[in-house]
Structure formats: C-alpha cells, structure tokens
Amino acid sequence: MTVEGTTAERIVIENAAVAAVDAAGTEYETGYVVVAGNLIESVGAGAAPAVEGVTRRIDATGHLVTPGLVNTHHHFYQWLTRGLAQDSNLFAWLVELYPTWARIDEPMVHAAASGSLAMLARGGVTTAMDHHYVFPRGAGDLLGAEIRAAAELGVRFTAARGSMDLGRSAGGLPPDFAVESTERALLATESAVDTHHDPSFGSMLRIAVAPCSPFSVSTELLREAAVLARSKGVRLHTHGSETVEEEKFCHETFGMGPTDYFESTGWLGDDVWMAHCVHMNDADIAAFARTGTGVAHCPSSNARLAAGIARVPDMLAAGVPVGLGVDGSASNESGELHTELRNALLINRLRGGEKALTARQALRLGTYGGAQVLGRAAEIGSLEAGKLADLVLWRLDGIGHASIADPVAALVFGPPAPVTLSLVNGLPVVENGHLTRADEDTLAALTRTEARRLAEIAGLR
C-alpha cells in the first residue's frame, strides 16, 4: 500500500533503540524499522530482515527511534509578537496584544508560520496544527499562507480556521476592530474546508473548524460552527477552561461553567479537542471521557500565563484523549515540543506527586495522544507496520544524554536531543539537525524583518 505521489524508497534503520508507543508499549534495546515508500513496513528487535531494493541503510547505533511528535495547539502568527506582555495573565495579555495582531497580513503570517514550523520540525515534530483566529479585512489569504509554509517544509498539517465575532461592544474581550461578523466567519470557514480539506489516508492537510474561545465568540457562532463541521465531516477545536477569569465569565454570562456551556452548544464529542482544560472539576472530566472529547495540554503556556495546572493524570485515568501543544509563541517563546514533554511530566508531578506522570506517558502524550486528538490514530502516532512513515531518530550518545542508560528517560528528562533524521510520509524533513527544505538562517532573517514591520505598523517601535 502506498499513497500516490510518494517515492518507492526503501529505508532500513538498524541498530537503534526503539520505542514503538503502540498499545503494548513495545520497546527494543536494539532493533530496526523498515520504511517502504510512505509507510512503515516492519518494526522489530535485533537485526533488520533482508529486504530487496534498499535505497538507504542507516546504522542508528547510539540513537532512539520513536514516532514523530505531534503538536496539537499553536498560533503561528504569534511568532512575530514573542516576548511581549511578559508578566500578564491571559486576559491582560490578550487585551495588550489584540491591537497588534489586528495588523497582521499575508507575508507576515507566511514568515511566522515558516518560523514556527521550522522550530517544531527541527525538534522532531512531524505533524503540526495551527489555530488561526485573527483575520483583518484586506490582509490577504492568511490560512493559505500557513498552508503554503507547511507544504514548503514538508510537515503534515492540520489548519484550524479560527474566528472571533464577539467584540467588546457586544460583551466580548477583543476590540470590535479585531473581530469578523458571524456570517463572514462561517462562510470563510466553510470555504476553507471546501478548498483545502483532504480526508484521505495519509493526507498531508486537514482543516478543522475552530471558533476561538467563550469570551470572543457568540453562542450562535459556536452552535453554527458545530453544525458546519459535522455536515462536512471535519473536526472541531477551541480554547476551553483555560483560566479562572474564563470560568467567571461563563458563570456570569451563561449561568454555567465552560464545560456545561460547551455541551449546551454541541461542543462535546469525539470529533472535538480543546486547548488547555486547566479548570476542570470531576464532572467536567467525566463529561470529556463519556463523549471522547480530547485535550491539548499546554504546560509551558499555562505556566507562562499563570493559568494553572491541568489535571492530566486524572484525565488519563478517566480515559480522556490527551495530546500536547506548544500553544502560540507569544505565550511560549520556546515553540518546540520537547519542552512540553518535559514540562508535562515535571508540572504534573508538582501537583500530583512523583508518580503523577512517567517518562513513557509523557512520550505517549506527545505522539499517540496527539494523533488521537487530531483524529489520526489509525495513521500516525506509533511505529507499527502499515502506518505512515512519520518517525524521528534521536541522537542519544552525545554529551547531553550518553550517561543516561534508559533511552526514553534520556529523551524526556534530558535536554532537547539532536534530531539525526526526521521522516514525514517517508521523506526526510530534518537531517543531522537541519531542515532539508529550507535554510534556518534565511527564515530567521525573514521572521525578524516581518516582526519589525508588524511592530512599526502597530506603533510598537
């Protein structure tokens, strides 16, 4: 089985430690992975089988091979507004940044998306998502710009067409000039799905429907967006239960907490995933588990904005699908997912004790868990024959990791490991720490230029 448009390469990776992140938690101290075209052909212990037509053979001694990391929440455009509003909670941070974000345009979003994707990819992310929710009039094709950037770098991508229609004059948090009309948001979202969404096995591009948050979106938009997504068979994404301020807003405005509000608008289901989910009581977690609603856990952003600590161990125990997200780069300047594996483990232990989350659970959140919440667990997220060849070869014999005997512990507890090879759909996206399809220094210069242009237009300089 191969997906049209991919090569018929056969790559043999041997002498690696293997963490398959399959249902049985299979690991091999020394093993192999064989890739044929865009698919994993076989995974096993010991020496690789003799196979015909090998186009590349990799001696991966000193490496760990894992499924590619999956990022489940981001706002790429924020790459141009990093390091601002440094000591603010979510609402103060948003109020400070909305006016600048309302000045973005297509070249800025393309540069920001390229920078964000480069950072993710060089750190082992093979599937990215972006939640873009600011669409100034006349700004150009912003969703198209990030879709282009993902295709240029070769990263598998879910573009979540976000929206805001609840301006300050109608009781929302964003200024009126930063929101769209309900009708325009719905029409543009439908058009994005019709134009770009590819539901096929092995798809490199999916679209999700993603109104922004309870305090920036009308009840009508939430309800209609859910109806639209279900009529098109695409997934739903939003921010939920992020802060105490959001909880207070929901109680004061709707007479109920965020999870009950989402349920009342059709927003719980196995086709929905929400970012953050920090302020969830037992009943909220049970509702997510009962309905199969997924969570994008963003520990660094939650710490940066002092939002709190999500109850990830309780969610996992209840059977809630949980993945990891870096969140937008204005609330997590690091922008790479290894930090989220590590912080998920460390921060959840601060709340739940030393057994709250293990290194293997953290790796699972960043791979299979992410695949689950993006609705792609049958295709990616584990190393199994027949799945897509999205995998990462982490170098663990360097100074940062060599003295740690357990390779999964080295990866999660240790510093970000160098990526020797990252394959997406069987094709190299990173080789020896460098992007194969773009020059990092050129991208860095481009993001600096566009960040300066935005700062000037927005009156920050």
Ligand X SMILES: Nc1nc2[nH]c(O)nc2c(=O)[nH]1
Q: Is 279 in the site for ligand X (CB under 6 A)?
A: no
Of 48-56, 208-216, 221-229, 399-407, which segment contacts ligand X by CB under 6 A? Answer: 208-216
The CB-of-205 to ligand X minimum distance in angstroms stands at: 22
How many CB atoms sit inside 10 A of residue 38's CB?
Answer: 24
Closer by beta carbon to ligand X, 114 or else 331: 331
- Residue of minimal CB distance from ligand X? 213
Euclidean distance between the first and final Cα of the chain, in Å? Answer: 55
Of 110-118, 203-211, 324-332, 393-401, which segment contacts ligand X by CB under 6 A? Answer: 324-332
Round to whole Å and give the CA distance between 299 and 208.
23
Q: Is 336 in the site for ligand X (CB under 6 A)?
A: no
Of 106-114, 181-189, 212-220, 375-383, which segment contacts ligand X by CB under 6 A? Answer: 212-220
The CB-of-226 to ligand X minimum distance in angstroms stands at: 18
Choose which of 21, 193, 212, 287 interacts with ligand X (CB under 6 A): 212
- The CA distances from residue 376 to 129, 140, 205, 268, 371, in Å, are 12, 30, 12, 18, 5
Closer by beta carbon to ligand X, 31 or else 294: 294
Q: Which of residues 364-423 bind ligand X (CB under 6 A)?
A: none
Pick the closest to residue 305 from 71, 95, 79 (CA basis).
95
Sign of CA dihedral 273, 376, 333, 154: negative
The CB-of-160 to ligand X minimum distance in angstroms stands at: 12
Choose which of 81, 116, 213, 259 interacts with ligand X (CB under 6 A): 213
Choose which of 68, 123, 299, 328 interacts with ligand X (CB under 6 A): 328
Q: Is 27 in the site for ligand X (CB under 6 A)?
A: no
Of 146-154, 189-197, 210-218, 363-371, which segment contacts ligand X by CB under 6 A? Answer: 210-218
Closer by beta carbon to ligand X, 302 or else 361: 302
Q: Is 75 in the site for ligand X (CB under 6 A)?
A: yes
Which tokens hold the place of 358?
């293990």
Choose which of 14, 130, 180, 242 interacts with ligand X (CB under 6 A): 242
Identity of residue 263: E
Q: Mask 88-107, x = binds ligand X (CB under 6 A)?
A: --x---x-------------
- CA–centroid distance for 181 within its chain: 27
Number of residues that bind ligand X (CB under 6 A): 12
Q: Is 331 in the site for ligand X (CB under 6 A)?
A: yes
Q: Is 301 in the site for ligand X (CB under 6 A)?
A: yes
Closer by beta carbon to ligand X, 329 or else 361: 329
Q: Is 216 in the site for ligand X (CB under 6 A)?
A: yes
Sign of CA dihedral 128, 327, 269, 70: positive
Q: Mask 106-125, x = binds ligand X (CB under 6 A)?
A: --------------------
Of 111-119, 211-219, 223-231, 338-346, which segment contacts ligand X by CB under 6 A? Answer: 211-219
Closer by beta carbon to ligand X, 90 or else 435: 90
State the residues that interact with ligand X by CB under 6 A.
75, 90, 94, 212-213, 216, 239, 242, 301, 327-328, 331
